[in-house]
Amino acid sequence: MRYIILPQAIRRILPALGNQLVYMLKMSSLVSVIGLQELTRKANELVVSEYRPLEIYTVLVLEYLVLILIVSAGVRWFERRMNASEM
């Protein structure tokens, strides 16, 4: 199972799993509205205390962009590595 079935299954589910991971990362900013202590909630608290929304939200957007790019690059690298081992 470890040498035959699992590598084939990982190759099949990796694109969907990567997309789901990026989706969850994007939705975590929306979940913070519900009440979880996340980046967006902390940024909202900082805007209330500092009165500088443009700068704070710009940094927040850049943080999410960097996180999503890192996760996407990692998934892409892993997909290429799994496809290279197939040959």
- Whether 87 shows a pLDDT value over 60: the answer reads no
8 A C-beta contact, residue 7 and residue 82: yes
- Whether 13 shows a pLDDT value over 70: the answer reads yes
Q: Give me the CATH topology for the region 5-86.
A: MetI-like fold (1.10.3720)
Question: What are the sequence ranges of the domains in the chain?
Answer: 5-86
CA-nearest of 69, 55, 83 to 46 is 55
CA-nearest of 53, 17, 80 to 45 is 53
Sign of the torsion formed by the C-alpha atoms of 36, 40, 43 and 49: negative
pTM of model > 0.85: no
For 31-80, write each residue's pLDDT tens digit: 555 444 577 888 888 999 999 999 999 998 888 888 888 888 998 998 88
| C-alpha span between 79 and 71 (Å, rounded) | 12
